[in-house]
Chains A and B, each alone.
Chain A
């Protein structure tokens, strides 16, 4: 028994050293573009729109910024200031896999939600490429000096409006400008376990974006959007609504 007493300090040390204060884990955010729940292939695949019209997608990419975990005490843990998610170049298989960004050595524990901007915060968007380090994801995006803004989101594709099997109508939607950023909080516990990787899955449903709760976006009237700020803001709202955590 005496021997056991001598061991107590070591046992206590061992227990405390394994406590939550030292626990760290990794977090992966996975993004998949879907259309009515099905992964979107950017390989010419047609998706049903409305009135026998069909649409297909070519490029889907967007910035997310100011990515943070919200702690239960109201404070937050910053993960990254900006990431570029590119869901272009996908066939049926790789579309389902989506694209991921990872963050290492996050303090272990339970968080109540994750939040990020869809687009760039004003702080980031007011920077110019010349002022940003070469390794930043911003340098892989497109900056429009005429706007004084990065392109936050790009959704490009084509539509077959007359159901003849040929997608002759272009869809070029570029969202940018400080008025178009949309912060969004995705509620739900995020548990970071010691030496484990936690994966959070996000989906952006392009049918939701373009059909918008029964109010279809007028792709025939608006073929290319890059200057019309009111339409751009409508698209930013639609995209934000279409963005969900699974």
Chain B
């Protein structure tokens, strides 16, 4: 074609295109261009059915983060992957070891580059049932939020999320895993929020109890307790009504979760004024001075495995813990009203320990679904 014919041809094409476009209904936008690099991968998430233990309450699952097999699988990978840390040396699992019921056995946990945190690592068990906040001080309202914080903590993983997300995008597997879990169409859609959702899904599956002697004896009635276990149970629950001391444990550690999920000052430190607590705990979150020195009442499931005890790991043994509670703890203006001295002899303390050990569930810590996928 000569130059004039070429121009005429393009003008004609343009007019025809304009004419065709003007024939489209005004209210219908053209579909967006399909640029997703993951769209070719099948997205058909499979619902994940959480096990229901007898007497356990139903778990509250956020509507925007339904449980799926793919989400749990991704969350498990992220939980065990040191990609979340600045130098790829640590993962969530570094401070949450299976053999320690997903605590770490340290008084104060160590982060990357040798930093030491100011609290003991909390055991991850039945965390999906928590309702009043995560961490010792409840500073995260949801598991989804909680999962994000250690990554950017300067002592813990000391990474930043934009960098982690870039590592996910470059990773050979993660883009397809995020696609499978959340239906993203392009790896540019990977976010820290989706990572948090996946980790939260995995953590919700970590339900403990069914493999314990307690469950066998006191829930399924498939075995009888020893005399020591039975006496410990009665003191723990005030079931003897006078013939044995009321050890007052159940107020804060009621079955089946063995925690009331609340925050209390359990008399660890003696201070004249609530402003004098070294660690404000819950008070740092609420800015309510009377909450200073209060910490979450942890679950007692697998308590045999989660030493050392308390938010600062000050007690090495269950015997030390029971001695503390029997003493009533140290006085402070906001020591919990439930803290009072209890008269327990050595035999009764040992019986309480026997009962507490019925809460050990080794099937939980050995569950292959909770081990590293790498």
Residues of A within 8 A of B (CB): 42-44, 58-59, 89, 91, 128-130, 132-135, 139-140, 142-146, 156-158, 166-168, 170-172, 223-224, 226-227
Contacts known (A134-B58, A142-B260, A144-B254); A89 close to B331, Cβ less than 8 A: no
Measured in the bound complex, the distance between the Cα atoms of B174 and A116 in whole Å is: 54
Min CB distance B23 to A, Å, is 41
Do A223 and B55 touch (CB < 8 A)? no
Classify chain B: how many residues form its interface, as a range.
35 or more
Give the chain B neighbours of A130 by CB distance below 8 A. 52, 54-58
The 9 sampled A-B contact pairs (Cβ below 8 Å) are A132-B58, A134-B58, A139-B60, A139-B131, A140-B131, A145-B255, A146-B237, A170-B338, A227-B241
Q: Which residues of B contact A44 (CB under 8 A)?
A: 274, 290, 333-334
The interface residues of chain B lying within 8 Å CB-to-CB of A140 are 131
The one of B57, B274, B333, B334 that contacts A129, using a Cβ cutoff of 8 Å: B57
B255: nearest chain-A partner, CB-CB: A145
Residue contact B254 to A227, C-beta cutoff 8 Å: no
Contact status A158-B291, CB under 8 Å: no
Chain A residues whose C-beta falls within 8 Å of the C-beta of B291 in the assembled complex = 89
Extra A-B contacts (13), CB below 8 Å, given A43-B288, A44-B290, A44-B333:
A44-B334, A58-B336, A89-B288, A129-B55, A134-B57, A140-B131, A144-B250, A145-B254, A157-B337, A166-B331, A171-B337, A223-B340, A226-B251
Query: B288 near A156 (CB under 8 angstroms)?
Result: no
Q: Are B290 and A42 in contact (CB under 8 A)?
A: yes
Instruction: Given A139-B131, A140-B131, check contact A170 B337 (CB 8 Å).
Output: yes
CA distance A227 to B234 in the complex (A): 14
Q: With A133-B58, A135-B60 given, is the CB distance from A43 to B336 under 8 Å? A: no
Evaluate contact between B55 and A128: CB separation under 8 angstroms. Answer: yes
CB distance from B247 to the nearest CB of A (A): 13
The residues of B that contact A168 with a CB separation of less than 8 Å are 331
Write out the residue numbers on chain A whose beta carbons fall within 8 Å of the beta carbon of B290.
Answer: 42-44, 58, 89
Interface assignment of B65: CB less than 8 Å from any CB of chain A: no
User: How far does the alpha carbon of A142 sit from the alpha carbon of B254 in the complex, in Å?
Assistant: 8
Q: Whole-angstrom distance between the alpha carbons of A92 and B248 in the complex? A: 31
A148–B255 Cα distance when bound, in Å, is 12
B60 touches A43 (CB 8 A): no
Shortest beta-carbon distance from B207 to chain A in Å: 13
- Give 1 or 0 for each of B221-265: 1 = CB within 8 Å of chain A CB: 000000000000000011101000000101100111000100000
Give the residue of B52, B56, B250, B288 whose beta carbon is less than 8 angstroms from that of A146.
B250
CA gap between A128 and B334 in the complex, in Å: 32
* Chain B residues whose CB sits within 8 angstroms of the CB of A144 once the complex forms: 250, 254
Contacts A130-B54, A145-B255: A226 and B238 contacting too (C-beta < 8 A)?
Answer: yes
